[in-house]
């Protein structure tokens, strides 16, 4: 089911397959999922570049800084 879903080209059809898989996983939990947290970053007010959304090198999704984007002034 999972392998088949990965091969589906149409993004919406692919998502639909994954929704079914996710529902099956919720029905028979392989782990217990709790809450997606509301994350935040805390920096001094002299830090610039925290709002950069490009070239993030994947890190903001982990809530950790990509220091290349940051500066102080």
Partner 1 sequence: MKRFSLLLAAVLAALPAAADAPGMRNKGSFIQLTTRSWFTFDPAAAFDAVSFIVTGNVYEPLITFKNVDDPEALMPFLASQVPSVANGLLSKDGLRYRFPIREGVKFHSGDPLTPEDVRYSLLRFMLHDIEGGPSALLLRPVLGVYSTRGEDGKIALDFEKAAAAVRVDGDSVVVRLAAPDKTFLKALASLPIVVSKPWSIAHGEWDGTAGSWERFNDRPLEKSYYHDHANGTAPFRVESADAESGSLLLKRHDAYWRAAASLEEVRLRVVPSKALRLWMLENGDADGSYFEDRDFSEAKDLDGVRVVEQPFYASLGEVLFFGFQVDAASPRIGSGKLDGKGISPDFFSNPDVRKGFAAALDYEGYLKRGLGMRGRRAPGPVPELFLPGQAPAATVFDLKAAERHFKKAFGGALWEKGFSLTLAYSPSNASRVVLANLMKAGLEKVNPKFRIEIQRLPSAEIYEEAEAGRLPLFIAGTTPTIRTLTRSRSAFCTARATTRRRSATRTRSSTR
The binding site for partner 1 (CB under 8 A) comprises 2-3, 5-9, 11, 14-15, 18-19, 21-23, 25-47, 49-51, 53-68, 70-73
Helix (H, G, I), strand (E, B) or coil at 72: strand
Q: Please, are residues 70 and 49 in contact by the beta-carbon 8 Å criterion?
A: yes
Write down the least CB distance from residue 24 to partner 1, Å.
Answer: 9
CA dihedral 3, 34, 30, 58 (to 10 degrees): 40
Write down the least CB distance from residue 40 to partner 1, Å.
Answer: 5
Write down the least CB distance from residue 13 to partner 1, Å.
Answer: 11
């Amino acid at each position: 089911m999972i392998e088949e879903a990965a091969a589906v080209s149409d993004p919406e059809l692919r998502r639909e397959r994954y929704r079914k898989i996710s529902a099956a996983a919720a029905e028979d939990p392989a782990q217990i999922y709790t809450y997606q947290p509301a994350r935040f970053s805390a920096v001094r007010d002299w830090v610039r570049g925290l709002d950069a959304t490009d070239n993030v090198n994947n890190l903001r999704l982990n809530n950790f800084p990509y220091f290349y984007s940051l500066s102080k002034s």
